[in-house]
Amino acid sequence: MDMCELVGQLTERIQKLNHLSPILPEEELYVQFECETETAVVAISKYKIGQKEKIDERRLVTIRGSKEALESLINGRLKLQQQIRLREVHISGSFRHMLLLESLLHLSKPYRYVC
Q: Regarding predicted confidence, which is higher, 84 or 110? A: 84
115 lies in some domain: no
Helix (H, G, I), strand (E, B) or coil at 41: strand
27-55 b/e (C-beta count within 10 Å ≥ 16 → b): ebbbbbbbbeeeebbbbbeeeebeebeeb
Strand partners, 92: 62
Evaluate if residue 115 carries a pLDDT over 60.
no
The CATH number linked to 13 is 3.30.1050.10
114 lies in some domain: no
- pLDDT given at position 54: 80
pLDDT, tens digit, for every residue of 11-56?
Answer: 999 999 888 999 999 999 999 999 998 999 999 999 989 888 888 8
pLDDT, tens digit, for every residue of 67-102?
Answer: 999 999 998 889 999 999 999 999 999 999 999 999
What does the alpha-carbon distance between residue 44 and residue 26 come to, in Å, rounded to a whole number?
9
8 lies in some domain: yes
How many residues would you count in the chain? 115
When divided into structural domains, the chain yields a total of 1
Strand partners, 29: 44
Cα 72 from chain centre: 11
Expressed as residue numbers, the domain containing 28 is 3-109
39 lies in some domain: yes
63 lies in some domain: yes
What does the alpha-carbon distance between residue 29 and residue 99 come to, in Å, rounded to a whole number?
12
Which run of H or E residues covers position 16? helix 3-16
